[in-house]
Amino acid sequence: MKTRILLLALLLALLLALPAQAAEEGARKKVDLPDMMKQHMLSNMRDHLVTLHEIHTLLGRGELDKAGEVAEARLGMSSLVSHNAAHMAPYMPKEMQAAGTEMHHAASRFAITAKEGDLPRALESLSKVTAQCVACHGAFRLN
């Protein structure tokens, strides 16, 4: 008797979970970019991840100044030109542009905070950068 109830509960849970998962995929809005631009954006993205990795490595070594410099040059406002941001922005929905802009601002703020030399505050500031990675990835997809 107990096993049957358990099995029923399991089946119900599975049935409820399936549409929820499908809705999650549908919730990410597909953004259509010309192929070259898509490749360019994904290549920027991979560079963002490498940059985050370098920042974490430097923070772990206590080299906060250097972490700030890397963040400003590769993710901050100084990186907009190298990422062709002005050229890409018109192809993106407004909220996507906003997440991108906020990420660059947050990275520049992190650069300033890091140089002040307080590790917990620097990490807190860095989480404002990653919050934008998370927000944009949760809302948009290219494929």
In the complex with ligand HEC, which residue's Cβ is closer, 11 or 42? 42
Q: Quote the least distance from Cβ 24 to ligand HEC, whole Å.
A: 13
In the complex with ligand HEC, which residue's Cβ is closer, 7 or 127? 127
Q: Quote the least distance from Cβ 1 to ligand HEC, whole Å.
A: 46
Q: Quote the least distance from Cβ 120 to ligand HEC, whole Å.
A: 20
In the complex with ligand HEC, which residue's Cβ is closer, 91 or 140? 140
C-alpha 58 chain-centroid distance:
20
Which chain residues interact with ligand HEC by CB under 6 A? 42, 45-46, 48-49, 52, 96, 99-100, 103, 129, 132-133, 136-137, 140-143
Q: Quote the least distance from Cβ 97 to ligand HEC, whole Å.
A: 7
Distances (CA, A) of 27 to 24, 92, 98, 106, 143: 5, 17, 18, 26, 13
Contact 80, 104 (CB under 8 A): yes
**Alpha carbon distance 44, 68 (integer Å):** 19
> What is the CA angle 109-126-52, rounded to 5?
110
